Amino acid sequence: MDLLLLKTLVGLFSAAAAAILISKLRGKRLNLPPGPFTLPLVGCWLQIGNNFDHHHLVNYAKKFGQLFLLRMGQRNMAVISSPELAREVLLKQGKEFGSRSRSIVFDIFTGKGQDMVFAEYGDHWRKMRRIVSVPFFTNRAAVPSGVGGGGGEGGGGSEEEPAAAEEGVVLRRRLELMVYNNVYKIMFDKRFESEEDPLFVKLKRVNGERSKLGQSREYNFGDFVPILRPFLRGYLKTCREVARRRFNLYKDSFIHNRKSVGASRKGMVEKNNDLKCGIDHFLEAQKNGEINEDNVLLLVENMNVAAIETTVWALEWAIAELINNPKTQAKLRAEIDTILGPKNQVTEPDTHKLPYLQAVIKETLRLRMIVPCLVPHMNLHQAKLGGYDIPAECRIYVNAWWLANDPTHWKKPEEFRPERFLEEESNVEAHGNNIKYIPFGVGRRNCPGMLNAMAVLGITLGSLVQNFELLPPPGQSKIDTAENNGQFATRMLNHATIVLKPRYV
Ligand code: HEM
């Protein structure tokens, strides 16, 4: 037998024996949460496979309890399905469980946690979070036009586009342009003119590639079982290549441009401390030595994912629900006409005067929670939870979707019924004042973009419903709401085409 092969087999055998020994010793010392039967090296991965989206996790919780442990190869994953345990993880022990678990793929996209979303809990994260939050707090109402053609803040007339009123438009494409324009205005004081803008096309392409590679569950096997990693070499090479192309695009087409604008405005900036957009704040922090150039790029990377995809997918779900529930759509339109008066275009401050609009948004984020298990948390050190020991560096899934869809806590949760937020759940807000409803998380690692997201959702949905009848495309009675559940997010599987029939011609 070839010496190298012999050495490899001996190595694998020793690793397996060591893993069995360590797991036996650990198992004796630790009082681990219940979970499926595990095997050395692979844990319960062979039984569970990739089927652990929020729906499957509910089924496992029914079998193993509100806190259970999946040992997926080398990764421990604790799954939480009760409000009490969620409160413990996110609030009472928020510091202990305030880090993030990464994967071999996310190590590539986030520079091993040198970004903000996947940073360990600590000084670096605190600094990055402060720097990123400023522009999104101060510019939260910067919502540009665009979804239905020109017009008001979020939608507008479609006289230029008779096709939208007959054959329909591909919803996701329209929403992407609008949401990119919102985020790029805040970040770079930049606006893309149309879906065909070459820079927009390039940007969307690389971000789309990153999203596909990151959301896929295809790489789990190599992440869970390190000896299988050689089979992921091609995948990881593609990830590195995409990361490189994205960073170059951000640098060459946005950051450098903004640096030169900054240089020409230097005197003014120093005198007035008048930093204009997000990147000015990031570059200022770099200049002060708070963060380095890589951190700046990684903040831009984070915003391209956290701020854009989530908002597009939430809008897409909300519009699909309004089309599939025409009575809700009509009721919302009547509220807008009555409170604002016909043709008075919805603005951001108006959205707070429209309780049914707010209820529609909340109900969408309840039933179609975009980040259903939050961004997985992690405990750096061994911890205690619900009377069990949680091993260090355990990936923690809080099944926030189940907390918001558990029939013990919600009346007929499977129904899309915004009225619940005006009736029996009228005290429940999106910012997490009730742990059973946390679409933006709660506690230290909650979403810093919540106000911006709620503003964009309010203006866009308000303007669309005010100006158009939203309908399924010809020959279809409903929008297909099949789900695509990725590593972190739930979005619509198929790109919906919708008809925008103008109310005022
Ligand atoms: C984190 C939801 C929009 C930036 C999160 C988390 C959720 C979430 C569930 C994880 C909370 C946790 O792990 O405890 C959403 C939804 C959005 C949205 C549903 C839209 C509908 C935005 C926007 C921004 C943003 C517009 C722009 C600033 C972030 C960042 C984090 C985050 C940076 C990581 C926070 C940290 O790790 O400390 N978001 N988000 N999100 N979100 Fe959002």
117 ligand 1 Cβ < 6 A: yes
Length of the chain: 505
Contacts of 417 (CB under 8 A, 6+ apart): 363
> How far does residue 349's CA lie from ligand 1's centre (Å)?
22
> Of 69, 54, 122, 35, whose CA–CA distance to 489 is shortest?
54
302 ligand 1 Cβ < 6 A: yes
Could you tell me what percent of the chain has a pLDDT over 70?
Answer: 87
Q: Which band of pLDDT confidence, cut at 50, 70 and 90, is reported for residue 431? A: very high
The minimum-distance atom of ligand 1 relative to the CA of 302 is 33
Q: Which band of pLDDT confidence, cut at 50, 70 and 90, is reported for residue 162? A: low
283 ligand 1 Cβ < 6 A: no
The minimum-distance atom of ligand 1 relative to the CA of 119 is 37
Q: According to the model, what pLDDT value does residue 268 have?
A: 46
Task: List the single range of 116-130, 158-172, 311-325 with lowest mean pLDDT.
Answer: 158-172
CB–CB of 127/134 below 8 Å?
A: no
> How far does residue 22's CA lie from ligand 1's centre (Å)?
37
> How far does residue 119's CA lie from ligand 1's centre (Å)?
14
454 ligand 1 Cβ < 6 A: no
> How far does residue 132's CA lie from ligand 1's centre (Å)?
12
- 3 state SS of 169: strand
Q: Which of 93, 447, 451, 492 to mutate to test the pocket of ligand 1 (most atoms within 8 A of CB)?
A: 447
Which amino acid makes up residue 144? P
Distance of CA 393 to the CA centre of its chain: 22
> How far does residue 306's CA lie from ligand 1's centre (Å)?
6
In tens, the pLDDT along 462-500 reads 999 999 999 999 999 999 999 999 999 999 999 999 999
Is residue 209 classed exposed, middle or buried when 0-12, 13-18 and 19+ CB atoms within 10 A define those classes? Answer: middle
Question: How confident is the prediction for the chain on average, in pLDDT?
Answer: 89
394 is an annotated ligand-binding site residue? no
CB–CB of 278/303 below 8 Å?
A: yes
- 3 state SS of 173: helix
Tokens standing for residue 72: 């997926």
CB–CB of 178/147 below 8 Å?
A: yes
Contacts of 463 (CB under 8 A, 6+ apart): 147, 148, 151, 152, 153, 154, 155, 156, 345, 346
- 3 state SS of 435: coil
- Dist. CA 106–CA 113, nearest whole Å: 8
Could you tell me what percent of the chain has a pLDDT over 90?
Answer: 79
Q: If you average pLDDT over residues 18-47, what whole number do you get?
A: 80
Residue scoring higher pLDDT (321 or 158): 321
Q: If you average pLDDT over residues 94-121, what whole number do you get?
A: 96
Q: Which sequence spans correspond to the domains of the chain?
A: 123-502
**CATH 1.10.630.10 assigned to 123-502:** yes
Ramachandran sector of residue 141 (left: φ over 0; alpha: ψ -120 to 50; beta: rest): alpha
Q: Which residue is closest in CA terms to ligand 1's atom 26? A: 307
- Dist. CA 110–CA 454, nearest whole Å: 26
- Dist. CA 353–CA 338, nearest whole Å: 11
Tokens standing for residue 324: 């599939």
Q: According to the model, what pLDDT value does residue 163 have?
A: 74
